[in-house]
Amino acid sequence: MKQQFSLLVLAMGSILTMSVFAEGHHVAEPWTVSGLHANLAAMPVGDAVRGEKLNIDMMCASCHGDGGQALSRNWPSTAGQRAEYTYKTLQDYASGRFVKHQGADAMAAVSGMLSQQDMADLAGYYATKALPVATVQVSLSDDAYRQTDYLVRQGDVKRLITPCASCHGTKGEGGINETPAIAGQDAYVFERSMQTYKQATRESDVHAAMRQFAKKLTDTEINNLAAYYAMQPKAVTKP
């Protein structure tokens, strides 16, 4: 949190000198901290009512569901997501630079048809919804649950893995700025997402932070984390 705070201060300082994003174009370079925060600061105010209509009209609902609760394990749920993250992610797909894996093709196409205002409206709409509930539950043994819970809350000092909870919130409800909510996401979707970081086919994360964490995690750890977060928020009350 301390690190994030200082990054934030740094970012706020550089907003004053930023002009690259003034026209709302996608940049060719990977995000920098200052660039991203300037971009988020320039995010239009989202109109959730218009976002709800766009979700239907643009066919988003055909995959992501009416309220952003995905209809199948093939698609991420977008309900309850932080507006900043949704907005940024739609830009990342539209730019075609940051997400280079095959699963992103449909999103690259559809996001290219959205204006910045559309993106903000859709983001605002999903943010009004409650976090999704994973439709398929993956069970964890008590040992695996405890180890995963430790990783989430304490991280792993030896491998320099920062606790997931310190950024994503203690219940996976999302953190500051673009740090996404990850609770209630389907385990299969979650795992795929982590693997795109691990294999570095997704380059949307500032400072490659998620890529570095994911690279150090074993596939078993990733699967367990996926199951753990799919259980949230139920897992919070698990003895």
Residues 62 and 23: their CA atoms lie apart, in Å, by 31
Which of 62, 72, 137, 220 binds ligand HEC (CB under 6 A)? It is 62
- Kindly write out the interface string for residues 110-149 of this chain, putting x where it contacts ligand HEC by CB under 6 A and - elsewhere: x---x-------x---------------------------
Contact between 103 and ligand HEC per CB under 6 A: yes
Nearest CA-CA partner of 41 in 13, 78, 2: 13
Q: Is residue 79 within 8 Å of residue 123, measured between CB atoms? A: no
Contact between 87 and ligand HEC per CB under 6 A: no
Contact between 86 and ligand HEC per CB under 6 A: yes
Contact between 210 and ligand HEC per CB under 6 A: yes
| Cβ proximity to ligand HEC, 16 vs 218, nearer residue | 218
| Cβ proximity to ligand HEC, 95 vs 162, nearer residue | 162
Residues 227 and 118: their CA atoms lie apart, in Å, by 33
Tell whether the torsion through CA atoms of 20, 26, 27 and 32 is positive or negative. positive
Residues 175 and 70: their CA atoms lie apart, in Å, by 22
Contact between 44 and ligand HEC per CB under 6 A: no
Residues 109 and 140: their CA atoms lie apart, in Å, by 37
Cα dihedral angle (213, 214, 219, 224), rounded to 10 degrees?
Answer: 70
Q: Residue 45: phi, psi to the nearest 5?
A: -65, 125
Contact between 108 and ligand HEC per CB under 6 A: no
Rounded least distance, CB 62 to ligand HEC, Å = 5
Which of 17-25, 128-136, 165-173, 230-238 is the region at the interface with ligand HEC (rule: CB under 6 A)? 165-173
Contact between 168 and ligand HEC per CB under 6 A: yes
SS3 category, 88: helix
- Residues that bind ligand HEC in the complex, under the rule CB under 6 A: 58-60, 62-64, 75-76, 78, 86, 88-90, 99, 103-104, 106-107, 110, 114, 122, 161-162, 164, 166-168, 178-180, 182, 190, 192-194, 204-205, 209-210, 213, 225
